[in-house]
């Protein structure tokens, strides 16, 4: 029952979060900082009350280790959201972030000296090819959209390249953080909810560096069209309503993934998250009518095929279909 509940939380929370983020970004493309700050503040407040018992509970992992992890987590979160300022369409943003497997494997080989099977290398090649196809097609769309003058088109393309560079850096930094987290858990044991709290609480002072941008968007949000909040019946600026929905759904999504990691194997978690990304992408394209060519579909299909190959879903399904007899024979 807990597994089904967690899967529902992941799909409903994460898909709703993508929709609310797109609604925010379409109106104010530079609102990434205020969105990140609101998410961090809400999750930190919840963790302070329920995880640390108002600061009375001591952390199982030394705070000095959390400071390192938090620096990476804060950097990744801010850069991922800020990249939306650079003509990065939401579908490309989602596809690019699906390439975390590549980054994990590359850094795993370099840092942890890991070696992988041929199927793993093939899957990474597929994911890389899929992201490359989608990126190239999106680059062409940036050029087409800025046909005004050659100089304008060139600067728009350079602007877009900065966004791609930011996403690439965030992808590698996120993978490095994952490896650091893995080594910490091996040493101190798994404390996912504690890590969730410290990852969102410790970076809050860092938002002072972004305070001007956050304040400006507070003003913009307050000046947006008033809307009635369903059920409650209160009236508030629609952008604040979108932000509230985004924060709540982000929390629901993260809680769902947390429950899933305690209830299921990592393979199941990866598969659920991958399917969620795919559904979010489809919804974003259809509902918001984002430009998506046949080549984009090819690239997307290749990315998800590579992801499923990496997680060895096919062999797991075959084993499950063969039944327990096969497992018993292997055990003998």
Per-residue pLDDT tens for 289-310? 767 778 878 888 888 888 777 7
Extract the tokens encoding 112.
């942890």
pLDDT at position 331: 47
- Give the mean model confidence (pLDDT) for residues 150-179: 84
> For the whole prediction, is pTM greater than 0.85?
no
Cα 46 to the chain's mean position, in Å?
20
236, β-bridge pairs: 227
Mean pLDDT of the chain: 81
CA gap 275, 177 in Å, rounded: 23
Per-residue buried b or exposed e for 184-217, using 16+ beta carbons within 10 Å of the residue's own CB:
beeeeeebeebbbbbbbbbbeeebeebeebbeeb
Who wins on pLDDT, 243 or 5?
Answer: 243
- Give the mean model confidence (pLDDT) for residues 159-170: 89
Question: 3-class SS at 235?
Answer: strand
Extract the tokens encoding 63.
């705070």
Q: Is the pLDDT of residue 95 over 80?
A: no
Q: Is the pLDDT of residue 220 over 90?
A: yes
CA gap 31, 239 in Å, rounded: 10
Q: What percent of the chain shows pLDDT beyond 90?
A: 23
pLDDT at position 205: 92
Output the furthest CA–CA distance in the chain (Å, rounded).
Answer: 72
Q: Is the pLDDT of residue 156 over 70?
A: yes
Do 134 and 300 contact (CB within 8 A), yes or no? Answer: yes
Query: How would residue 266 be classed by pLDDT, with cut points 50, 70 and 90?
Result: low
């Amino acid at each position: 029952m807990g597994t089904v509940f967690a899967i529902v939380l992941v799909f409903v929370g994460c898909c709703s979060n993508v929709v609310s983020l797109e609604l925010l970004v379409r109106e104010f493309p530079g609102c990434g900082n205020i969105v990140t700050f609101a998410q961090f503040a809400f999750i930190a407040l919840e963790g302070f009350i329920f995880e640390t018992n108002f600061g009375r509970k001591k952390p199982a992992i030394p705070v000095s280790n959390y400071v390192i992890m938090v620096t990476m987590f804060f950097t990744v979160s801010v850069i991922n959201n800020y990249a939306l300022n650079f003509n990065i369409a939401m579908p490309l943003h989602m596809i690019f972030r699906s390439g975390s497997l590549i980054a994990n494997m590359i850094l795993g080989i370099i840092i942890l000296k890991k070696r992988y099977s041929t199927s793993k290398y093939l899957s990474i090649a597929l994911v890389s090819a899929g992201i490359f196809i989608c990126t190239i097609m999106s680059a062409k769309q940036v050029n087409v959209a800025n046909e005004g003058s050659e100089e304008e088109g060139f600067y728009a393309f350079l602007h877009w390249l900065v966004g791609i560079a930011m996403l690439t850096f965030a992808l590698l930094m996120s993978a490095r953080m994952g490896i650091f987290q893995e080594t910490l858990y091996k040493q101190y044991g798994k404390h996912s909810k504690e890590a969730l709290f410290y990852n969102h609480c410790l970076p809050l002072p860092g938002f002072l560096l972004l305070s001007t941008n956050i304040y400006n968007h507070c003003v913009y949000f307050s000046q947006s069209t008033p809307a009635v909040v369903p059920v409650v019946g209160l009236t508030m600026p629609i952008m604040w309503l979108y932000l509230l929905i985004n924060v709540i759904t982000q929390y629901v999504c993260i809680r769902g993934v947390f429950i899933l990691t305690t209830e299921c194997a990592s393979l199941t978690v990866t598969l659920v998250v991958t399917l969620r990304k795919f559904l979010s992408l489809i919804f974003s394209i259809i509902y918001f009518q984002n430009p998506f060519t046949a080549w984009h579909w090819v690239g997307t299909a290749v990315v998800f095929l590579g992801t499923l190959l990496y997680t060895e879903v096919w062999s797991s399904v075959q084993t499950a279909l063969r039944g327990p007899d096969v497992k018993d024979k292997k055990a003998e």
